[in-house]
Amino acid sequence: MLSLADVMQAAKTLRGLADDTPLVPSALSGRLGTDLWLKLETCQPVGAFKLRGAVNAVSNLPEGTAGVTCCSTGNHGRGVAWAARAKGMRAAICMSELVPQAKVDGIRALGAEVRITGRSQDDAQREAERLARDEGFAEISPFDDAHVIAGQGTIALEMLAARPGIDTLLIPLSGGGLAAGMAVAAKAINPDIRLVGITMDRGAAMKASIDAGHPVEVEEVASLADSLGGGIGLNNRLSFPLCRELLDEIVLVTEDEIYGAMQALYYEDRMVAEGACVVGIAALQAGKVEPGRVMGTVITGRNVDMTEFTRVISGQDVSLGDLTVKGRVYEP
């Protein structure tokens, strides 16, 4: 399994490329009853934290690798496309029909080929596996790859170096690459730190898998936190056992709670961010997480569908497949 040494090595690889994003105090702290700090991965060149894991993984590929592939809900694909272009490599990114067009366009703008396959991340994953098997691509998992996990773990290194007093980390949870990497680093630095994985309550693959005791498939549905969608892979080797072992708790938030947190982050902290970024804030606002003395969370990405985002901040209804989130005007 991974260790702090792996994360430290990743930090050296990322130096000057995908590191040292700002850690800022949140204007929401007083309302939420805690000293809350926000790690702004929105400031990465591709607008999301996924660049860390992608750069670390691509940098560790064998010389002569012709191309890379992955499945992605958007941000991992953008990170892999950026890292591959920097190395002069071909990239083919596999995505499902549920991925917002803005994220598809962002990946194509980086020169990568996009393959839209099926209605779920599991469908996209199968296409990435086919490319690796039949066409010789190197596959980089968005979460179940040692170099990806170590790269994401550098976020915790930076947060705890800047604010050693942080006693709780609220970590957006999907396939578990971010949570596993941050947990490996944070628990090594401070074994008493509380780690809370947070995700939406519809299609929460990691939570369902941990409850079942093994990786399971879940139905993938539209969500304001679309970056947290998708499964964890039935053959998950790394992120599942690390999250099961190291996370202290997992909390689920509703689409309505995510909606309110997106509004709060925008109006109070003046930030444009994806729904996946605000699940920690959503859990605090809903009283689902006990406030710590000093807490940190990751604002994971800014690559949001701006039409949908505008509907949220202006208080309009948002349609998510079979679910409509009722709009409401933000009240401080």
The reported pLDDT for the residue numbered 154 is: 98
What is the tens place of the pLDDT at every residue in 255-304?
999 999 999 999 999 999 999 999 999 999 999 999 999 999 999 999 99
Percent of the chain with pLDDT over 70: 100
Percent of the chain with pLDDT over 90: 89
Number of H helices, E strands in the chain: 13, 12
The reported pLDDT for the residue numbered 99 is: 86
The reported pLDDT for the residue numbered 1 is: 82
What's the mean per-residue pLDDT of the chain?
96
- 164's CB contacts (< 8 A; 6+ apart) are none
Q: CA-CA distance, 295 to 281, in Å (whole number)?
A: 11
Q: Is the pLDDT of residue 74 over 90?
A: no
What are the beta bridge partners of residue 200? 253
CATH 3.10.20.30, applies to 50-139: no
Q: Give the pLDDT band (50/70/90) at residue 102.
A: confident
The reported pLDDT for the residue numbered 220 is: 86
Q: CA-CA distance, 249 to 196, in Å (whole number)?
A: 5
The reported pLDDT for the residue numbered 195 is: 98
Phi, psi for residue 260 in degrees, rounded to 5: -65, -35
Angle between helices 50-59 and 75-87 (to 10 degrees): 40
E strands present in the chain? 23-25, 35-40, 67-71, 90-95, 113-116, 138-139, 168-172, 194-200, 249-253, 294-299, 318-320, 323-325
CB-based burial label for 217 (10 Å; 0-12, 13-18, 19+): middle
The reported pLDDT for the residue numbered 235 is: 93
Mean pLDDT value across residues 50-68: 94
The reported pLDDT for the residue numbered 4 is: 98
Identity of the highest mean pLDDT range in 63-77, 119-133, 153-167, 228-242: 153-167
Mean pLDDT value across residues 146-151: 98
Mean pLDDT value across residues 119-146: 91
The reported pLDDT for the residue numbered 332 is: 87
The reported pLDDT for the residue numbered 35 is: 98
Q: Give the pLDDT band (50/70/90) at residue 327.
A: very high
E strands present in 117-208? 138-139, 168-172, 194-200
User: What is the third-level CATH fold of 4-48+145-325?
Assistant: Rossmann fold (3.40.50)
The reported pLDDT for the residue numbered 98 is: 83
Which of 239, 227, 271 has its CA nearest to residue 75? 227
**Residue extent(s) of CATH 3.40.50.1100 domains in the chain:** 4-48+145-325, 50-139
With tokens 């990946």, the residue in question is 107
What is the tens place of the pLDDT at every residue in 20-53?
999 999 999 999 999 999 999 999 999 999 999 9
Q: Is the pLDDT of residue 177 over 90?
A: yes
Q: Which two tokens stand for residue 78?
A: 């953008």
Q: Give the pLDDT band (50/70/90) at residue 230.
A: confident
